[in-house]
């Protein structure tokens, strides 16, 4: 009888030790994940001079590093961006900025230059142009085929940004060493500085998301940031 009681007690102690170890390891894993998420933060990129949507005084700053040739950027703009706009940008909780990435070569550069020209000439209609360029992106299986051309950018600008001088836009796209080219170069510098690994890369107050489509994480970061600013 005494031996049976000893066995039961030993078993309970062992079970408690196992449960404690499991809880400890789970907590370690959660801490590691939180540390990894925080460790990706190198401070928030400057949005001075960048196209920015929302109230200037909004407490949370969201940045998309995007490429007009990127199919995932188009998908993000169709799936995540509308919810983000409705929940946080239109409500004044966050502002949203776009920084050009040049991962797809000459076409990425051409689209970036076009976006800078439109933003300079007709900032109020920049976002309509921005969306229309992504809408014009062909099906995924064809996205590597050349489609961003001077004529295509002029066509989209004519449809979405009525205050743009199309002759000036063409000049901006065909002339090297312009101030707009310097703006694109500045964007590329930010991409290098923040080690942007893929497009779209989303940063919220300096924290780089591992999964830009994780809206639950986006919400969590914004809400935590809002609470901290209260």
pLDDT in tens, 145-187: 889 999 999 999 999 999 999 999 999 999 888 899 999 999 9
Least Cα distance to 100 among 88, 114, 89 occurs for: 114
Query: Does residue 96 register a pLDDT over 50?
Result: yes
CA 106 vs CA 38, 186, 219: distances in Å: 34, 16, 35
Both tokens of 170, joined, read 């063409």
pTM assigned to the model: 0.82
Both tokens of 76, joined, read 């993000």
Both tokens of 176, joined, read 């090297």
What mean pLDDT do residues 8-35 have? 44
Query: Does residue 35 register a pLDDT over 90?
Result: no
What mean pLDDT do residues 111-134 have? 98
The whole-angstrom separation of Cα 79 and Cα 62 is: 16
Q: What pLDDT was estimated at residue 142?
A: 65
The whole-angstrom separation of Cα 85 and Cα 73 is: 16
Query: Does residue 12 register a pLDDT over 70?
Result: no
End-to-end CA distance of the chain: 63
Q: What pLDDT was estimated at residue 120?
A: 98
């Amino acid at each position: 009888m005494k031996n049976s009681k000893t066995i039961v007690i030993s078993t309970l102690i062992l079970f408690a030790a196992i449960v404690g170890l499991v809880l400890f390891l789970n907590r370690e894993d959660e801490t590691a994940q939180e540390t990894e998420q925080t460790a990706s933060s190198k401070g928030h990129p400057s949005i001075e001079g960048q196209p920015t949507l929302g109230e200037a005084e909004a407490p949370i700053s969201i940045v998309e590093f995007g490429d007009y040739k990127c199919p995932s950027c188009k998908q993000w703009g169709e799936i995540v961006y509308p919810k983000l706009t409705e929940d946080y940008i239109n409500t004044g909780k966050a502002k949203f900025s776009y920084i050009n990435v040049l991962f797809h070569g000459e076409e990425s550069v051409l689209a970036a230059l076009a976006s800078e020209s439109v933003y300079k000439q007709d900032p109020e209609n920049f976002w309509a142009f921005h969306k229309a360029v992504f809408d014009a992106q062909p099906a995924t299986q064809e996205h590597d085929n050349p489609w961003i051309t001077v004529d295509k950018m002029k066509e989209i600008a004519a449809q979405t940004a009525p205050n743009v001088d199309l002759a000036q836009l063409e000049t901006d796209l065909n002339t090297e060493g312009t101030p707009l080219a310097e703006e694109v170069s500045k964007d590329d510098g930010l991409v290098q500085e923040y080690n942007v690994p893929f497009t779209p890369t989303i940063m919220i107050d300096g924290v780089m998301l591992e999964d830009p489509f994780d809206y639950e994480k986006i919400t969590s970061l914004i809400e935590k940031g809002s609470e901290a600013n209260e």
